[in-house]
Amino acid sequence: MNPPSTGQAPQTPRNRQRTRADRARQVAEVLRRQIASGSFTSGMLPDERTLIADFAVSRNTVREALGVLRGEGVVERRQGVGTVIVRRPFEHTLERLTGLAETLGTHGEVVNQVRVAGLVRPPGDVARKLDVPVGGRVVHIERLRLLDGVPLSLDLTYLAADIGEPLLTADLAGRDLFGLIEQSIGARLGSASVTMHAVGGDPHTCALLDIPAGSALFTVERLTRLPDGRPVDLEFLRIRGDRLAFRAELVRAGGGAR
């Protein structure tokens, strides 16, 4: 026997009532993106009344969204002033092969603390990716990178020996590796393969980056090649998730919609 009809539509994913937490998360995500792109040039968020009208949500939802951003250390509430942006993640494009200082130099001073620099016998996977013969060596460089004095990333780099050895006496603290490589070889680099994912940072890395253990990090593996396709630079970057946002313009490939 079928149950009596209530006259109401079943609660499907399309018509289920969104919770205030859902709406607050959406507001926080949009504001976070606006902050990263530099939309609020005054350094402050609009007042609550403006945000309520803009997002068509309640005051409590706006306050919950601002609480999310405060918890992330992105904004803080100052009595008599308003909601002030205290940490703005900077954008790094994925469309061009650029070094960190090339991309972020206009936002502040990029400084590199060189922790390791020398010839080493590479791990097997590194040797394979750089086409290093058995028994061969590579140059290993590890740098802690800071933007305006605040840690941004921990970069582990392996370079083909003939490319890397001339750089051991170069200005590793003040220059991007890409620029140093191109200056050394007298030619431009060619292309790179990039793999990126997010992880909770281990205690040692987080301590170096001055963030709590378990904080979100981007881990980036980038294999850079010369124009002839020869791999010369393998990097493993661990980047603070609260300080950098990646951006790209993508074009949908041809073919009909399904």
The pLDDT tens digits of the residues spanning 156-169 come to 999 999 999 999 99
* Co-location of 112 and 67 in the same domain: no
The pLDDT value recorded for residue 159 is 97
Coarse DSSP helix, strand, coil percentages of the chain, rounded to the nearest 5 percent: 30, 30, 40
Domain of 120? 90-247
* Residue 245 confidence (pLDDT): 78
Instruction: Judge whether 103 lies within some domain.
Output: yes
Total tally of structural domains belonging to the chain: 2
Q: How far apart are CA 229 and CA 192, in angstroms?
A: 9
Q: Choose one of 32, 66, 85: the last residue of a domain.
A: 85
pLDDT at 32: 86
- What pTM value is reported for the model? 0.75
| Domain stops at, among 64, 85, 106 | 85
CATH of the domain at 73: 1.10.10.10
Which has the closest alpha carbon to 234: 168, 141, 171?
141
Q: Residues 179, 167, 209, CA angle at the centre, nearest 5°?
A: 75
What is the reported pLDDT for 242?
Answer: 82
Q: What is the pLDDT of residue 15?
A: 47
**49 plus 160 within the same structural domain:** no
User: What's the pLDDT tens digit per position in 105-152?
Assistant: 666 788 899 999 999 999 999 999 999 998 999 999 999 999 888 899
Q: Does residue 157 belong to any structural domain of this protein?
A: yes
Write down which residue in 53, 68, 85 finishes a domain: 85
137 occurs within a structural domain: yes
